[in-house]
């Protein structure tokens, strides 16, 4: 709701159309669906599309905001191909130019994945990564303990 209000105010103040590209629940599905031409676009296709779309929109004086609302990992073997569950999925996601993104429940379900997200993925995004409810409360030996509200 807050996001809609912010966007509505931005549109009124800004005066130019704002296009929103929103992804969610990618679940490490970075490959295409070659058996179905309707779904035969991979993550690279989306990177290309989003870059071209933004360039065209900005050229027209419009703006583009791109969001992801989490669940980057789990769902395909690509998520399990790395020693840390989802590491490759997080790494390839950094090729996208999100204006804001957050974690989903799957992103906080495996300790090593949370550590990788906290130590590597979130620092890549800086203030673009939005969350207020994931806290590292203590380190116990080699295990970090997180609390999610």
In this complex, which beta carbon is closest to ligand NAG, that of residue 25 or of residue 119?
25
In this complex, which beta carbon is closest to ligand NAG, that of residue 35 or of residue 149?
35
Q: Is 41 in the site for ligand NAG (CB under 6 A)?
A: no
Per DSSP bridges, beta strands 63-68 and 143-148 are: unpaired
Q: How far is the CB of 38 from ligand NAG (least distance, A)?
A: 4
Q: Is 39 in the site for ligand NAG (CB under 6 A)?
A: yes
Task: Produce one character per residue of 9-35: b if its CB has 16 or more CB atoms within 10 Å, e if not.
Answer: eeeeeeeeeeeebebeebbbbbeeeee
Beta bridge partners of 67: 22, 100
Cβ-Cβ contacts under 8 Å for 61 (sequence gap 6 or more): 16
Q: What angle do CA 109, 40, 24 make, to 5 degrees?
A: 30
CA 10 – CA 12 distance, rounded (Å): 5
In this complex, which beta carbon is closest to ligand NAG, that of residue 29 or of residue 125?
29
CA 101 – CA 67 distance, rounded (Å): 5
Among 15, 36, 59, 149, binds ligand NAG (CB under 6 A): 36
Q: How far is the CB of 36 from ligand NAG (least distance, A)?
A: 4
Binding region for ligand NAG (CB under 6 A) out of 36-44, 60-68, 101-109, 121-129: 36-44
In the region spanning residues 49 to 108, those forming contacts with ligand NAG, defined by CB under 6 A, are: none
Q: Is 34 in the site for ligand NAG (CB under 6 A)?
A: no
In this complex, which beta carbon is closest to ligand NAG, that of residue 32 or of residue 84?
32
* Chain centre distance of CA 132: 16
- How many residues touch ligand NAG under the rule CB under 6 A: the total is 3
Interface contacts to ligand NAG, rule CB under 6 A: 36, 38-39
């Amino acid at each position: 709701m807050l996001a809609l209000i912010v966007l509505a105010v931005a549109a009124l103040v800004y005066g130019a159309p704002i296009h929103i590209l929103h992804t969610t629940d990618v679940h490490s599905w970075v490959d295409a669906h070659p058996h179905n031409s309707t779904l035969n676009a991979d993550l690279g296709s989306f990177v290309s599309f989003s870059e071209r779309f933004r360039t065209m929109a900005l050229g027209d004086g419009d703006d583009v905001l791109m969001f992801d609302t989490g669940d980057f990992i789990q769902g395909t073997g690509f998520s399990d191909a790395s020693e840390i569950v989802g590491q490759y999925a997080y790494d390839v996601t950094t090729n996208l130019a999100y204006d804001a993104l957050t974690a989903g429940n799957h992103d906080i379900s495996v300790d090593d994945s949370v550590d990788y997200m906290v130590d590597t993925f979130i620092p890549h995004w800086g203030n673009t990564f939005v969350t207020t409810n994931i806290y590292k409360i203590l380190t116990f030996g080699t295990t970090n303990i997180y609390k999610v509200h």
